[in-house]
Structure 1
């Protein structure tokens, strides 16, 4: 049985420009220049994303639902999973190279990036779901009522204590506002396939 996580129970990694509850949703406005990335290819470190995090009990899955209503370069929203500034995963929907993509950035001192096009997700409600299985994190996503898609199976030290919750960032512009409809805990995936 899913359990809603109250918005007020999280702590921001970096305060957004604005965050307000409206009809049970959390509406967040990101600061221009906000992002999460470490070193790889670009050579910079950004650690100023807007993530609302709580401790993650490995016996539960975490789900975040938000509306994909943005089209600025590198606008992004979804979920952040974090151990510390050098060990984290961000996953969600990002607008890059002129199109929306679902993907993940897995960071173990340096970041990587996976991305698959989902232009049909524009204007829809997307849910990101993460579960811990052994030494990994299984990331799934879906738009509306469609079936879950496997986004990534990422390695994670099983001894790490992690936090998880909704996040957004706007690396190149001001004015990105994301409507998060829910943040909940539910039964984790029992297997990868």
Structure 2
């Protein structure tokens, strides 16, 4: 996608996390040093809504504990220039809640960005986990 394109990306997901840091969601990537990932993550024995923003190689992490594993967990990410709005919804009809308004600058050399689903199981104790992504939609606008 063109690096300056505004868009809204949505997806529903269900995951059966097993170990610390199992995660799934959406990712926006300029390059290896400038990206955002959001979704659910398994931390301290429970599910959390999670956003990690990395700018110039420096990351910060936001977590919101969830009462129970949502089925499905819904994500909506809206990009307007360098502002990223991250919202999540729990269950089929749960209202979207704002989780994060983040700054993700354009990298001068970057002409395109990548937007899509992501999942990871970085813990060495992990054998992986099952995740279902449903209704991925990316809508461009000016």
TM-score by length of 2: 0.84
The runs of 5 or more residues in structure 2 that have no matched partner are: none
| Aligned counterpart, 2:21 | 74
For the pair 1:104 / 2:55, whether they are aligned, the reply is no
The runs of 5 or more residues in structure 1 that have no matched partner are: 1-54, 189-193
Post-superposition offset of 1:187 = 7.1
Post-superposition offset of 1:158 = 4.9
| Aligned counterpart, 2:94 | 146
Whole-Å separation in 1 of the counterparts to 2:47 and 2:34: 25
The answer on whether the counterparts of 1:69 and 1:123 sit within 8 Å (CA) in structure 2 is: no
Whole-Å separation in 2 of the counterparts to 1:71 and 1:102: 16
| Aligned counterpart, 1:169 | 120
Alignment of 1:1-193 (within 5 A): 55=1, 58-108=5-55, 109-120=57-68, 122=69, 124-143=71-90, 144-158=92-106, 161-172=112-123, 173-186=126-139
TM-score by length of 1: 0.63
Q: How big is the alpha-carbon RMSD for the aligned residues of Structure 1 and Structure 2?
A: 2.0
Higher RCO structure (Cα 8 Å, ≥6 apart): 2
- The total of aligned residue pairs comes to 133
Q: Which contiguous aligned blocks of 4+ residues in structure 1 show a shift greater than 4 angstroms?
A: none
Q: Deviations over 1:40-62 (max 9, x none)?
A: xxxxxxxxxxxxxxx36733201
